[in-house]
Amino acid sequence: MRITGVESITIEVPAAWPGGRDTWTVVVVRSNDGTVGIGRGGDVGIVSDVLAPLLVGEDPRMISMLWDRMYEAAWRFGGPGAPGMASIGAVDVALWDLYGKSCGEPLWRLLGGFRDTVPAYADGSGYADEEDQSADAIARLVKKHADLGFQAIKVHMYRAARPEDVVERVRSCRDLIGPDVRLMVDLHQAWDGKTAVDLARRLEPYSLYWIEEPVRHDDEPANMRMVQQATSAMVAGGEGQGTLYGIRRLLTEGALQLVQTDILIGGGYTGLLRIAALAEAFHVPIAPHGAQFPDFNSHLVAAVPNGLMVSTYPDCEPHEIWSKMYDPPFRVNDGQITLSDRPGLGHELDWGFIERHRASAG
C-alpha cells in the first residue's frame, strides 16, 4: 500500500453559534488501493507544500515514522508553531483513519480499545458571541444544556472583568442546575497568581469539577501550583502546548491535574497517545481541548485508560461540520458518545456537501 495523494480542501460552513461562519480545512489522504483517510484542520499551504511531499509514495501504515518525518521537517526552520503542529495533527488523523479502514477496525479499538462509550461535556456556555453575558442568562444556558442530558458543563468566563463577575456567574449556574451536574469554568489565563488563588477560594462553595487555565502564561507552573492548594477542583490546562516536552515540563513542575492538549496542536493521535502515556505516569487524566473535534477526540478518550471526557458544542445538530459533512453523521446522545464498529473514524465524507461548500483546494 502506498500514498498516492494528499489533498487539502477549504470549506466554509455555518458556525456553531447563530449567524457565524467557520472556515475549515478538510485533509484527504489517498492510497493506491482506493482507501481514503480523512482529517480536518491545519493550514492548506503547510499540508500541501511541506507535508504532502514527505508522504506521497510512502506506506501509510508506517504512521510513527511518517509523523517523525513531518515533525522534524516542520521544526527544521525554527519550529512550526500552532499552524504547523495543527497541520501535522490533521494529516495524522487522516493517516490513522486510512489505517483503520485498511484493517477494518475502528480507531478507538486500534488505538488502544479501553472502552466504547465516553462521556461528553457541554462546552460553549458563556461565549463572548452571546449578547447577554449576565449571570442569569449564562445560568439559563447552562440549565438548557443540562436538560439536554449533559452531566458536565463548562462555562467560559469571557467579559468577566472582575473576580466578582466570575463568582456571581458560577453561583447562578449552581443554584439553577443543582448539586449533581459537574460544573467547570474556563478562566482563559486571565489572572495573576494571587488573584487566581483568591478567586479559587471564593468558588470553593460551588463544588467545581475543574478550573481551567486560571493564571497568566508568564509564570504558569508556579501559579498553577498555588491555585491547586486553594481548591478541591482539578486545575486543568495545557491546551495550547503541543509538544511532548512542553507537557513534560508542566507535569514535572506540578502545574497540571488534567491535561487538555488539543488533538491537532498535539500532533493528532500519534502525538496525543504519547502525551496520554506521559500523563498516566503522573496519575493525570486527559480531556483534549476542542469542542469542534468530538469526532476525533472521542476515539482518543475511548482508547486510553486515563481518558476522561470529550468536549462538544451542545447544540451541534445544526452545525454542518458534524451533521452534514459525514455519512453517517456524528451524534452525541444524552451527554454520551457511543463509538461504533465501523472502521477508522467511522464516517465517510459527504462529497456533495464538500463540493457545495468548497472555497478552494490545495
Domain boundaries, the chain: 3-104+350-361, 109-338
**pLDDT surpassing 50 at residue 166:** yes
Give this prediction's pTM: 0.94
* CATH number, span 3-104+350-361: 3.30.390.10
pLDDT, the chain, mean: 92
pLDDT at 98 over 70: yes
With 50 as the cut, is the pLDDT of residue 318 above it?
Answer: no
| pLDDT band for position 328 (cuts 50, 70, 90) | confident
Q: What is the pLDDT of residues 189-211, one digit of tens each?
A: 999 999 999 999 999 999 999 99
pLDDT above 90: percentage of residues in the chain = 79
Q: Are strands 182-186 and 210-212 parallel, antiparallel or unpaired?
A: parallel
pLDDT band at 89 (very low <50, low <70, confident <90, very high): very high
| CATH assignment, 109-338 | 3.20.20.120
Question: Which tens digits make up the pLDDT trace of 103-131?
Answer: 999 999 999 999 999 999 999 888 766 67
Please say if the pLDDT value at position 361 is more than 60: no
Instruction: Tell me which of 74 and 267 has the higher pLDDT.
Output: 267
